[in-house]
Amino acid sequence: MAAATQIETVTITVNDLELTVPKGELIVESVKRLGFEIPIFCYHPRMKPVGMCRMCIVEVGFKQPDGSVRKMPKPQAACTLPASEGMVVYTDTEAVHRDRKGVLEFLLVNHPLDCPICDRGGECPLQNNTLFYGPSTSRYVEIKRHLPKAYPLSKYVTLDLERCIQCGRCVRFTEEISGDSQLAFRFRGANMQPSTFGLMEFESKFSGNVIEICPVGALTSSKYRFRARPWDLQTRPAICTNCSNGCNVWMDYRVDKVVRINGRTNEAINEEWTCDRGKFGHDFYNSPDRLNVPLVRRGTALVETNWSEAYSDCIRAFTSSTNTAGLGGNANSNEDLFAWKKLFNEGFKSNELDYNWTKVAPIADPTHAKPSIASIEDAPSILVFGSSLADELPIVFLRVRKAWFKNGAKVIVAHDQATDADSFAELVLNYQPGTEATLAQALADAKAGKSVEAAAKLTGVPAEKIAAAAAHLTSSTAIITSHELLNRPGAHDALGALKGLGELRNYALNANDQGAAEIGIGTGTKRSAQILADARDGKLDALWLLGVDPFEVCEDHDLVQAALENVAFLVVQAHTKNGAFPYASVVLPMTAPAEADGTYTNADRHIQRFGAVLPAKGEAKPAWKAFSEISLRLKPGRPWFNADEVGRALGAEVAAFANHSFNQLPTEGLPLV
């Protein structure tokens, strides 16, 4: 077993209390260990310290041989001061309070003091620090500066320049974390302001984060502005289901309507960041097209009915024939998928279920091994192959960039188009579309010392570049692809070649695709395209759509339309009207993810709980509950009463989920067994 890494420590004194901390740790972090507070504006623990605002100043000295303390003549910024042996820090002296008061007085000189109408009011660090450390009254009687109000940086971010305190957090985020460097400081002195280059639109895919890290109300959400005050909101922990990363978020709601989404810290997954798709992409919860009552087709019309009649129609159609199938969507919980599979296998005597809409099926991994997203940071080299991470796996993209930015990882990008990762890649291999398998094999051949001249001609990537990339590949290399690669010719050959070059991570794209695979959805004889073709050709008597709109996920819209028109019986189980709705024989309203308890398995097999945040709309039910009630009509027995019971049943049948039911999971989730 490898020896534990030894961390050099030093002993410091904070407010007369001795403390042992890692050598070089910033004092602003050290004092947190004792529960003390140092106010900050510009400092952020995930970005480089800059010491711009001076709010964190403390008195510092060093112990002398005679036991006395010799103080530095000037206060020091705790956010840039590393801990060293014998250091003595005072965070709560009269001098410190006087200096902090002066800093705040300068910051407020030109601040508009419009807290009553500012969206940040009630949760503003400037407001809080002013109340605690600042002057009780203002001595400034001159005319304040006036700058443009509510300037739209983008469709998501609104800038109020009068409130900006020039802390630089937003600019540093785009330079250090997201890497798009779209914001910079223009001008100098009192006129300095964060802005995009050339006053272009702020098009970052992670722009919503600057709203959260802004310590004042300078950057606000265009979608949240004037919709609520913080004390009007109720906040619950939630999971983003817009992709497979499984980001932890806070969901703020008011009168059963989602008002905003903020990042929630989970070091194993998203740290505290969100992408714009996750932060601003949850409008479907408030959609006027939400389904809230069962519908059955009578003649040419869909009419409202009760659950019993809807169940009867479904049972009649799915038990009178063995030619039945189901297609699932991307945001169904583990409990929904397990109950769905159990109903089809045991109740309808069918195993034709699929959830994956790529052209070829993912390769099953019998070892179930998949390193964590966080472990990407430790990889000495990373190969991103055939995936635009910022679009497909945004949080994985941030981890890859962090591995390069902080740890010096060598990043190689192979894609047929330009991607966001190209900006920091050591090598970029732009290959001809459709030659993924050839390039992957060429990398393996180059690693083995074979000639790659023929592959270079086919792929359009120079042989010397292929050889240079192969030289960086070791058994410790993180090779990152996504299921998008499964839409390319020779996908399985490409993955097979890549697997021998390093630690292959082929990540799913949708919220619970990984959970569906673990549960065994998609193990039938037919994939989604073949199921649709059978429906089109009249070979399928009944089709069940669980939380999916085939028009959105299938490229062949003609096939989808012909399938839905020709299938004899179609069940649409969804939370919102979709493209399949007009073709339905029965419509079963289901709860959206935030309206029912459930668990979700993210791309790296991390299972997390998602407790109900909002009440169900109308008569909508969790999908697992509907499946349980149908099963009882087919075979009487004890029903499942809650998501935890479904999860326990899942764990009893699928070993990977053992001891991972809803009530057993900790807040931060757990890797699957």
Rounded Cα distance, 579 and 616, in Å: 22
Cβ-based neighbour number of residue 524 at 10 Å: 18
Q: Which pLDDT band, with edges at 50, 70 and 90, does 451 fall under?
A: very high
Confidence of residue 1 (pLDDT cuts 50, 70, 90): very low
Percent of the chain predicted with pLDDT > 70: 99
Average pLDDT of the segment spanning 239-243: 95
What is the per-residue pLDDT for 368? 64
For residue 115, which of 100, 97, 99, 134 has the smallest C-alpha distance? 134
Summarised one tens digit per residue, pLDDT across range 195-239 is 988 888 999 999 999 999 999 999 999 999 999 999 999 999 999
pLDDT(3) > 70: no
Q: How many CB atoms lie within 10 A of CB 505?
A: 24
Do residues 355 and 601 make contact, with C-beta atoms less than 8 angstroms apart? Answer: no
Q: pLDDT, tens digit, for every residue of 17-34?
A: 999 999 999 999 999 999
Res 404 pLDDT > 90: yes
Contact 441, 491 (CB under 8 A): no
Q: Which long-range contacts (CB under 8 A, 24 or more apart) does 298-307 make?
A: 302/584, 302/587, 307/619, 307/621, 307/626, 307/629
**What's the pLDDT at 597?**
97
Give the pLDDT of residue 136.
Answer: 84
Residue-level pLDDT at 414: 97
Task: Categorize the per-residue pLDDT at 125 as very low, low, confident or very high, splitting at 50, 70 and 90.
Answer: very high
Average pLDDT (60-64) is: 93
- At 318-352, the pLDDT tens digits run 999 989 999 998 899 999 999 999 999 999 999 99
pLDDT, one tens digit per residue, over 144-154 is 888 888 999 99
pLDDT at residue 2 is higher than 50:
no
- How many beta carbons lie within 10 A of that of residue 351, not counting itself? 17
pLDDT in tens, 153-176: 999 999 999 999 999 999 999 999
Question: Are β-strands 301-304 and 295-298 bridged in parallel, bridged antiparallel, or unpaired?
Answer: antiparallel
pLDDT exceeding 90 applies to what percent of the chain?
88
Long-range Cβ contact pairs of 137-140 (< 8 A, separation 24 or more): 138/105, 138/108, 139/105, 140/105, 140/108, 140/109
Element (H or E) spanning 250, and its range? strand 248-254
Q: How confident is the model at residue 288 (pLDDT cuts 50, 70, 90)?
A: very high
Q: What is the mean pLDDT of the chain?
A: 94
Check pLDDT > 60 for residue 662.
Answer: yes
pLDDT tens-place string over residues 36-53: 989 999 999 999 999 999
Whole-number Cα distances in Å, 497 to 446, 450, 500, 553: 12, 14, 6, 28
CA angle 541, 546, 551 (to 5 degrees): 85
3-state helix, strand, coil in the chain (%, to 5): 35, 20, 45
pLDDT score, position 361:
87
| Residue 132 pLDDT exceeds 60 | yes
Q: Please give the average per-residue pLDDT across 439-463, as a whole number.
A: 96
What does the alpha-carbon distance between residue 293 and residue 616 come to, in Å, rounded to a whole number? 11
Q: How confident is the model at residue 523 (pLDDT cuts 50, 70, 90)?
A: confident
Structural domains of the chain, ranges and CATH numbers in brackets? 15-105 (3.10.20.740), 108-221 (3.30.70.20), 295-360+515-671 (3.40.50.740), 374-507 (3.40.228.10)
- Supply the pTM of this predicted model: 0.94
Check whether 366 has a pLDDT greater than 70. Answer: no
